[in-house]
A and B are shown apart, each in its own frame.
Chain A
Amino acid sequence: MENSTALGQDKENQPQGKEGRPWDEMTAAAFQDPEPGLSKTAESQQAPETGPQSRSSPPRSPQPPGNTPPDDLTGSGASPPPSPLQEPSSTPSPLALARQDLAAPWQSDKNASVTPEAGTPHSDYLEPSPDKGDSTPHQTCQSQGNAFQQPQQPNSHLYGPKDVSCNNAEQKKLRFDIFQETDSNSYDNAGEAEPGASEAAPSMLETAIQNAKAYLLQTSSKSGLNLYDHLSNMLTKILDERPENAVDIIENISQDVKIAHFSKKLDTLQNENEMLPTYEIAEMQKALFLQGNLEGADQELEDEIAENSLPNVMESAFYFDQSGVGLGTDETYRIFLALKQLTDTHPIQRCRFWGKIFGLEMNYIVAEVEFREGEDEEEVEEEDVTEERDNGDSEGEEGDEDELPRPSYKAPQAIPKEESRAGANKYVYFVCNEPGRPWVKLPPVTPAQIVIARKIKKFFTGQLDSPIVSYPPFPGNESNYLRAQIARISAGTHVSPLGFYQFVEEEGEEEEEVEGGRDNFEENPDFEGLQVIDLVESLSNWVHHVQHILPQGRCNWYNPIQKSEEEEEEEEEKEEKEEPDYIEEVGPPLLTPISEDLEIQNTPPWTTRLSSNVVPQYAIAVLRSNLWPGAYAFCNGKKFENLYIGWGHKYSPDSYTPPVPPPVCQEYPSGPEITEMDDPTVEEEQVFRAAQEAAVLPDEEDEETEEGEDEEEDYD
């Protein structure tokens, strides 16, 4: 800001100076000037240049007498006494000339040794003199500026220099701003900075500097400090204390400054809770580890029951680890504890770690349990609901026959789901997102859900209540879809070594036994184990111990009485593994070897492997499903376990194709009920009337006439 104003002033001043200033005034001005100029120069720069200084400083006092013309006083008004400073330099050389001595001193200066003090005032004074009062700084600046250029100017002529100086002054207008700011700047800087350079630079350089400074000023999120302040504090400290070898202990100084900096932390309204979820889950999992202690005194009795139901997760995890599958030791252990929590809080007879299904936001850890006798009766209600629905439909159909026809379309009859403990609902599944979080019981699966689930392929989100948006529409939310996928995976991939399970002969009649296929099995007490090598080499040593799910969506055939033929055919097409020969769907019976599983387009459905090729005698057999990637089983001869870790999707070499839209209903065929005859023509009517008259005339004349009238009206 100052600069601009200064410039303006200068411009104004200059012309005046050129035009009309008598030398007197100029000189006077010149005289004025020197004092600031000199003082500065003396301070800052002239120290090195001994020559000029010596000249200038001593003469100060002598000069005033030398030339103090009245002009000076009037013109400058301000400071006659200091002005003399210049004189000394001038006096030696030309003294004789009265006025021109002013100019002369100049040259003498130049010639002598570029004494800034002496020369500058003159040149400056040519212009700025008019504004004596207000702009002393300018003057000083100018003086400095000129001082530099003087050396370049020709020395010889007495008069010449003045003009030149004037020119110079003009040229330097632009420079004033810089000089003003840096009053005491060194000569070198002032001289070097040509107007062009000084103006162009700021755009690039200054922004870079500002960026750097802004970066340094960034406040650290941790300590609330910024580097700029820190550095300045450090430098202040160093300059205050002046330690020896400061560079060596700079780190300590930095540390001291940081320690010394004490900022009171401001209270905010809310607590910082960035890490809260971390603590939350840790708190939950702490409960898992503490649950042993919580039980207290009568623990033993409960333990007897509980121990039976709790699976030895860690042991099977060890074997799975041998085969290169598994969740890592700590997570497995947490799951183990979570299962313990589950078995302690529910009346569970048998429990198993089923596996883990990935979701987009959260994963599911799935536990497969079998309740003891005290099971909950939620499903009864649901069945009632479905029955009610059926009733409602039938009523609607029967209700009114007289008026408009009602839609004759009947929804395909809902196939009832299987009872708990049977078929696909044999086990109950609990899921949780993370060990430590509460277990959620999944609803029993319905055949419709399985049938639809076969046609869609969706990622799980991790929220049990999120809707499944799909075509065809899925009846239920994600918990139902998850349950359906679990049922399908279990049915497909749960296998055991041959002979481990055997059928229960006595209980055969107890459950519904439609095809003669038995669906109950028990552990074979006489199971002696199998050679691991045999398990690896032959797939026929592995058998399914979970019932196959029919295309109908059930494990046991349900005969829907009203079921139409087409529906069945449709379903058969969708079938994955079997070609049913009967109308009644039949799948492979229980305990069928997996060697009879169907191939997936030249891909064998199972891959077997020894866990270690180096030490085969202690290796275990590992079975991997290619149909359900992520499903594994191991057997070490006696023990076996199944585990699924994956996305919950079936493998197919071809890409998923959405099901084709259902066939469009055919319109009613055009027949006698649809088409109408043409209107009767006049001739026909007349013929008809004639015939009627002929027939009826004898009996009733009145009626006939009435009819005739009616007909006539109609024609109109």
Chain B
Amino acid sequence: MDADSLLLSLELASGSGQGLSPDRRASLLTSLTLVKRDYRYDRVLFWGRILGLFADYYIAQGLSEDQLAPRKTLYSLNCMEWSLLPPATEEMTVQAAVVKGRFMGDPSHEYEHTELQKVNEGDKVFEEEVVVQVKEETRLVSVIDQIDKAVAVIPRGALFKTPFGPVHVNRTFEGLSLSEAKKLSSYFHFREPVELKNKTLLEKADLDPSLDFMDSLEHDIPKGSWSVQMERGRALVVLRSLLWPGLTFYHAPRTKNCGYIYVGTGEKNIDLPFML
């Protein structure tokens, strides 16, 4: 959700029970403005919070003018002091994948993970227990990156691609119509397209190059990994990700108000196929 319209966005997303206490709200409004100034971001998003056992991480993201350019991620424990997270790498994802369970709330906490590794000594093969230590910060980075790549959502038309390549916020975006708002096909993943290139020419024929440059949600795997609801007498569309429970996307049809927020434990719901 946009940091500039934080209060309205929070109100819209409140149907999921994911709010912020008044002091958090106030401090975010203050500190994100400063973040925007200090880091010279074009736009700052309040990304959400990850619930730890002893403390919560509040996450914000800074966007440059090109909306799809790699984003800078910041975290804070008290909503006032923000620290920049390193960009996520493949290696981090692999490292963090071994850690299960909840976040602690301490970025310097080290998870210990024992692995059985085969060690060759001459002819014999020993299995040795190796303790791998993973820092929570690494895990945080990789989880945020995964969530962003998997379930960050933007409605169709809210961004447009300029002829020169960069992607900008569409000022003329007037919101989705009611009939479009119910369809998953009118929402896009807020990331560089991955599957667009795999589409056949026939499928590409109907796409508008300046709007349809991202992957739409409707082909997500498994099918049914989104719950779409009209709330408040159809004045609000709410998309809830079932794959990453805690991610809520809201959009008031026919207005520009849209955004997403993640409030959850930072764990992927791998039981999804059983639960549908």
Contacts and interface: CB of A to CB of B under 8 A. Distances in A.
B101 interface: yes
Interface stretch (B13-21, B30-38, B123-131, B145-153): B13-21
A603 B14 CA distance: 28
A626 B52 CA distance: 10
Interface stretch (B113-121, B154-162, B163-171, B268-276): B268-276
A120 B259 CA distance: 72
Interface in A221-279: 274-275, 277-279
B178 interface: yes
B178 A603 contact: no
B100 A327 contact: no
B255 to A, nearest CB: 14
Contacts of A649: 275
By CB atoms of chain B within 10 A, which of A324, A434, A611, A624 has the most? A324
Given A629-B265, A646-B17, A358 B101 contact: no
A321 B22 contact: yes
Majority DSSP secondary structure for residues of A touching B: loop
B275 A457 contact: yes
Interface in A623-672: 624, 626, 629-630, 645-647, 649, 651, 653-656, 658
Listed residue (B15, B224, B230, B274) with the most chain A CB atoms within 10 angstroms of its CB: B274
A470 B20 CA distance: 37
A607 interface: yes
A324 B20 contact: yes
Nearest to A358: B240
Interface residues of B, number: 39
A362 interface: yes
A628 to B, nearest CB: 12
B108 interface: no
A298 B276 CA distance: 50
Size range of the interface on A? 35 or more
Contact of A361 (B19, B23, B227): B227
Interface in B85-104: 100-102
Contacts of B197: none
Given A321-B19, A321-B21, A653-B100, A326 B233 contact: no
A459 interface: yes
B196 interface: no
A614 B11 CA distance: 24
A314 interface: no
Given A459-B275, A656-B274, A360 B19 contact: no
Interface in A306-336: 321-329, 331
B242 A274 contact: no
Contacts of B51: 624, 629
A178 B23 CA distance: 77
B112 to A, nearest CB: 11
A31 to B, nearest CB: 58
B184 to A, nearest CB: 13
B233 A282 contact: yes
Given A274-B178, A324-B20, A459-B276, A626 B53 contact: yes
A413 interface: no
Given A459-B242, A653-B102, A325 B275 contact: no
A278 B232 CA distance: 8
Nearest to A458: B275
A282 B53 CA distance: 41
A363 B229 contact: yes
B18 to A, nearest CB: 8
Contact of B53 (A324, A363, A459, A604): A604
Contact of B271 (A331, A362, A615, A656): A656
B21 A630 contact: no
A613 interface: yes
Interface string B1-33: 000000000010011110111111000000000
Nearest to A643: B17
A658 B274 contact: yes
Contacts of B17: 325-327, 356, 630, 645-646
B53 A358 contact: no
A607 B104 CA distance: 11
A359 B230 CA distance: 12
Interface of B: 11, 14-17, 19-24, 51, 53-54, 78, 100-102, 178-179, 224, 227, 229-235, 240, 242, 245, 264-265, 270-271, 274-276
18 contacts: A275-B178, A324-B24, A325-B19, A326-B17, A326-B19, A327-B14, A327-B17, A328-B19, A358-B227, A363-B229, A457-B275, A601-B101, A603-B101, A607-B54, A612-B21, A645-B17, A655-B270, A656-B271
Q: 6 closest Cβ contacts across the A-B interface? A: A328-B14, A645-B17, A281-B233, A656-B271, A324-B21, A653-B101
